[in-house]
A and B are shown apart, each in its own frame.
Chain A
Amino acid sequence: MIVRNVDVAVLGAGPAGMAAALAAARGGADTVLIERESHLGGILKQCVHDGFGLVRFGEKLSGPEYAGRFVRMVREAGLAVLTSTFVAEACRDGDESILMLVDRRGVTELHAKAVVLATGCRERSARQVMIQGTRPAGVMTAGAAQYYVNVLGYLPTTRCVILGSGDIGLIMARRLTLEGAEVLGVFEAKSIPSGLSRNIAQCLDDFGIELHLSRTVTRIFGDDRVEAVETAAVDEKMRPVAGTEERLSCDGVILSVGLIPENEVAEALDVPIDPATRGPLMDQNGQTQVLGVFVCGNASHVNDLVDYVSESGERAGAAAAAFVAGRRTRRLLPVIADSTVLLYAVPQFVDMDAPESGAVVYFRSREELGVTVVQVTAGGETVARHRYQHLRPPEMERLEIDLSRIPFDITFLNIGTESVAVAEVKS
């Protein structure tokens, strides 16, 4: 077996991994970018719709265009890239991480001083949602449908329902409609949609596709192939309401019921996971509780804007290079999110020994709120605050903290809403 050493190994070549590898190399580290697929770009390769890159490039790019810009930068920088290479196993060895890389030629044991996990997220599948009935062909995740249509050029359904109102499902409602399939409706068990308002407008309203809130798919019929579904209204406790059942004949059920950070390698490296985000606990530069192991992009928590994914990759890559160059100490302050108003806030810690990088806190609100001031406090002092026109759970918000304003004797930070300014929930 071949044994190799490297300063920084970046796992996954989506937008997060490409940004991280570029930043680590720029920071002087001997870096390698590892990707299990044959091409760089990650999930963006199949996201042919536009809307990517408004923050970073000031343009509405399609997914492949956004990815293409980073692929070009990776080539121009002459980065070492391993494609069609899978990280089969990982473990810690002293201060280093050992990754078992498998490719066509065999197995390589890679010893890395620092690892950046940029493995993205996966979709919740049919197994994770409770639907009665059979599991015939035609039940698929929105991402799988996206791959069939956009990469393979094959229409996996002619008449379907979409279960869940996540963004990928909304995007696929439009895409399938444009390709000639009939989308009978989007069914969301919750009373508020989980996708962005703009996607409801441009993917559903434009095509007269109905969004049914507080309604779900309760049964799937069909032996080999989906033949019909039963939908029903649900109450606040998500229980189907008797007498509201309706049967719709269709040959496809597209699931868009959420994304979960992909963390198999993180777990193999003994990285503690936050139950709120399902990603590793980390500081503002993505460093996890295991020194030298960093995380970024959708592996750290599910982002809705790729621009922020790239930003997190850059921070993690630069910090990994600094770690390799000798930065070993941290002084971590926990960032405690007020869970009555916030679904979560990341990072879960700020490292006060890395003040030069500042800190960006991302958060999601638990409910839809009108004008709201969100603030970060240290002891009694406000160290960051911003007024938001509205907060909605599907929209991740961003707040910058100037770490130099945090008094030295502080042991934790709080993030929450400024109580006087909390506006009532919009109806």
Chain B
Amino acid sequence: MRKLTCIVCPSGCSINVNQDVDPWSIVGNLCPRGIDFARKELTNPTRTVCSTARTSFATVRRLPVRTRGEVPLASVRSVMSEISRLIVDREARTGDTLIEDVVGTGVAVVATADLADLMEEEDCDGRPICSGD
């Protein structure tokens, strides 16, 4: 019997899996996504990796990034080291691909913020109501 915590949604169901029967008995999940999670977790666990990448811009030292999809749990560390070697030298936008295929997982690393926005000087969005007079 394996006890897992489903990480698909904030409910965090506690799922019990009995692998001694065929098909496995999976109980404790509040929704069907928990069954898929449990199967995958016990065969090929995967995670999304979120981090930040260095940039070549003095005013924005870090750009938030993540893997577009999930990568094998076992390759999280090597994904991190490839991200740590990355230097973003263009004004990447949310969703832009920064690494096509990170450590051969077939998954891309993308920006999760607009670099130009992070650089923007204050007060240039919207219509300042107390300027002018």
Contacts and interface: CB of A to CB of B under 8 A. Distances in A.
B50 A62 contact: yes
A205 B14 CA distance: 14
A153 B50 contact: no
A32 B51 contact: no
A125 interface: no
Nearest to B5: A201
Interface residues of A, number: 54
Interface stretch (A43-51, A182-190, A217-225): A43-51
B116 to A, nearest CB: 12
Interface stretch (B17-25, B60-68, B100-108): B60-68
B122 interface: yes
Contact of A101 (B4, B11, B48, B130): B130
A389 B15 CA distance: 13
Given A39-B118, A105-B130, A75 B125 contact: yes
Contact of B113 (A2, A68, A389): A68
Interface stretch (A113-121, A192-200, A317-325, A342-350): A192-200
Given A81-B127, A101-B130, A151-B62, 13 more contacts: A50-B50, A61-B112, A80-B129, A84-B122, A84-B123, A149-B52, A150-B52, A198-B5, A202-B47, A304-B10, A395-B10, A395-B11, A395-B12
B61 A153 contact: yes
Interface residues of B, number: 45
B130 A50 contact: no
22 contacts: A2-B130, A6-B129, A32-B129, A39-B120, A45-B113, A48-B52, A48-B64, A48-B66, A54-B10, A62-B64, A79-B126, A80-B129, A83-B122, A83-B123, A103-B130, A198-B6, A201-B7, A206-B76, A304-B10, A305-B10, A389-B11, A395-B10
Interface string A148-162: 011111000000000
Interface string A363-380: 000000000000000000
The main secondary structure of chain A at its interface with chain B is mixed
A32 B126 CA distance: 10
A183 B50 CA distance: 18
A-B CB proximity, top 7 nearest? A81-B126, A197-B12, A201-B5, A198-B12, A64-B113, A38-B122, A48-B64
A391 B117 CA distance: 40
Contact of A153 (B30, B54, B131): B54
A38 B123 CA distance: 7
B32 interface: no
A178 interface: yes
Contacts of B6: 198
A62 to B, nearest CB: 4
Nearest to B54: A153
Interface string B60-88: 01101110000001001100100000000
B122 A198 contact: no
Given A39-B117, A197-B12, A50 B66 contact: yes
A43 to B, nearest CB: 13
Contacts of B7: 198, 201-202
